[in-house]
């Protein structure tokens, strides 16, 4: 026979039980924390991994993504550099040639432009130039995209430039889990990787555990984030949560939308993307970059070439407007949102079903 516990003892018992019940539950982690942990784990496992960039050491980066690395590994392995992007990336090329694995941070998306000569002439071509004898294991971390109220040169979506440069891998996570898994894969790669980090998702959270991170799909694989039957939303990075929100809102209109997160822009996963479009028969590509000659143009062309006889309507695009990035007060009109996505879905010739 048991007796009921009351009063202060009952409160203490309940508190202890609650603590025990929550002990095994992972504490929510942000994307920024997952990225920091990925670099920290890679540096701990491999002494050739070096982090470098403007303010990455003492400050821990503008977004605090490298916080604590200099203290743990020393300034020789987490190094503050001068404000000279071409010099930063040029130094990384030399480091990689001599057996190191540099992880370079370009503080903001448009700050990377002065380093393009190094990127295109050397980073992207060195392995091919040496017939594979000299790998280029450089990761170039680029905080990119809008949604944080940044001014000019702080909110660009530059992915089309990198995608159009043969020799580079280009990846962008949309989840905390992918932030860790893709960055670890990028650091381990012997090919140069442009790692695009969506700034507005730095503070998104997940019950991800740094002590036992769940495995994720490798570089080069897309993932279906939401199953649907009516149309496919093809997207990546900061536009993934927007598309998931649009897919939920679309149910009120009777549209069952599938959402594909590309994760990897180069290599591109034609298999997963086209399998989805063949199932649904319709597709909309969504991204923040400009529409003209943007990533969506290439994606729409690939889908059309491979899925033409399965399409019920032309592949449509929802993108940033073909203008320089607008002032903060106007960015909400520039960035693809739920309403613009649903407007595109409405133009997918649904009358063909009747």
Q: Are 200 and 146 in contact (CB under 8 A)?
A: yes
Give the pLDDT confidence of 62-102 residue by residue, as tens digits.
999 999 999 999 999 999 999 999 999 999 999 999 999 99
Give the pLDDT confidence of 263-281 residue by residue, as tens digits.
999 999 999 999 999 999 9
What is the percentage of the chain residues whose pLDDT exceeds 90? 88
Specify burial of residue 97 (Cβ count, 10 A radius: 0-12, 13-18, 19+).
Answer: middle
Q: Is the pLDDT of residue 331 over 60?
A: yes
pLDDT band at 17 (very low <50, low <70, confident <90, very high): very low
Q: Rounded to whole angstroms, how far apart are CA atoms 193 and 327?
A: 30
Q: Are 260 and 234 in contact (CB under 8 A)?
A: yes
Task: Quickly count: other Cβ atoms within 10 Å of residue 19's Cβ.
Answer: 9
pLDDT band at 10 (very low <50, low <70, confident <90, very high): very low
Q: Rounded to whole angstroms, how far apart are CA atoms 143 and 22?
A: 34
Q: Rounded to whole angstroms, how far apart are CA atoms 173 and 32?
A: 11
Instruction: Report the pLDDT averaged over residues 219-238.
Output: 98
Give the pLDDT confidence of 146-201 residue by residue, as tens digits.
999 998 899 999 999 999 999 999 999 999 999 999 999 999 999 999 999 999 99
What is the percentage of the chain residues whose pLDDT exceeds 70? 92
Q: Where do runs of H (alpha helix) occur along 229-347?
A: 240-250, 270-280, 295-307, 331-334, 338-346
Q: Are 253 and 212 in contact (CB under 8 A)?
A: no
pLDDT band at 25 (very low <50, low <70, confident <90, very high): low
Going along the chain, which residue ranges are E strands?
29-30, 49-53, 78-80, 101-105, 139-144, 169-171, 193-198, 205-206, 223-226, 231-235, 257-261, 264-266, 283-290, 316-320
Could you tell me the end-to-end alpha-carbon distance of the chain, in angstroms, rounded to an integer? 69
In sequence order, the β-bridge partners of residue 232 are 258, 283
User: Max Cα separation, the chain?
Assistant: 81
Q: Rounded to whole angstroms, how far apart are CA atoms 119 and 187?
A: 17
Q: Which of 50, 122, 153, 154 is catalytic?
A: 154
Q: Is the pLDDT of residue 326 over 70?
A: yes
Q: Where do runs of H (alpha helix) occur along 190-258?
A: 240-250
Q: How far is CA 253 from CA 267, 289, 349, in A?
A: 35, 27, 14
154 included as an active-site residue:
yes
pLDDT of residue 26: 66
Residue with token string 């995608």: 163
Q: Is the pLDDT of residue 8 over 60?
A: no
The candidate with the shortest Cα–Cα distance to 275, out of 223, 345, 216, is: 223
Average pLDDT, the chain: 93
């Amino acid at each position: 026979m048991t007796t009921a516990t009351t009063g202060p003892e009952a409160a203490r018992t309940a508190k202890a039980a609650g603590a025990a019940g929550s002990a095994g539950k992972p504490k929510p982690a942000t994307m920024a924390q997952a990225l920091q942990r990925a670099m920290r784990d890679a540096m701990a496992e491999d002494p050739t991994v070096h982090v470098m960039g403007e303010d990455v050491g003492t400050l821990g980066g503008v977004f605090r993504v490298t916080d604590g690395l200099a203290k743990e590994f020393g300034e020789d392995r987490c190094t503050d550099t001068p404000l000279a992007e071409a010099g930063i990336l040029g130094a990384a090329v030399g480091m990689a040639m001599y057996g190191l694995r540099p992880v370079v941070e370009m503080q903001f998306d448009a700050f990377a432009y002065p380093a393009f000569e190094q990127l295109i002439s050397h980073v992207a071509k060195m392995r091919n130039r040496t017939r594979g004898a000299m790998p280029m294991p450089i990761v170039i971390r680029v905080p990119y995209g809008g949604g944080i109220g940044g001014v000019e040169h702080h909110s660009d979506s530059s992915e089309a430039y990198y995608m159009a440069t043969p020799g580079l891998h280009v990846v962008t996570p949309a989840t905390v889990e992918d932030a860790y898994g893709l960055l670890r894969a990028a650091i381990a790669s012997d090919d140069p990787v442009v790692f695009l980090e969506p700034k507005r998702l730095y503070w998104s959270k997940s019950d991800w555990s740094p002590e036992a991170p769940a495995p994720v799909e490798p570089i080069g694989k897309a993932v279906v984030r939401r199953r649907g039957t009516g149309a496919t939303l093809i997207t990546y990075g900061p536009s993934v949560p927007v598309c998931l929100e649009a897919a939920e809102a679309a149910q009120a209109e009777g549209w069952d939308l599938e959402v594909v997160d590309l994760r990897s822009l180069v290599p591109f996963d034609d298999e997963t993307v086209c399998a989805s479009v063949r199932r649904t028969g319709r597709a909309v590509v969504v991204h923040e970059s400009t529409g003209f000659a943007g990533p969506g143009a290439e994606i729409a062309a690939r889908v059309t070439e491979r899925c033409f006889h399965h399409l019920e309507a032309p592949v449509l695009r929802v993108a940033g407007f073909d203008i320089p990035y607008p002032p903060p007060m106007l960015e909400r009109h520039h960035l693809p949102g739920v309403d613009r996505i649903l407007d595109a879905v409405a133009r997918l010739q649904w009358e063909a079903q009747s």
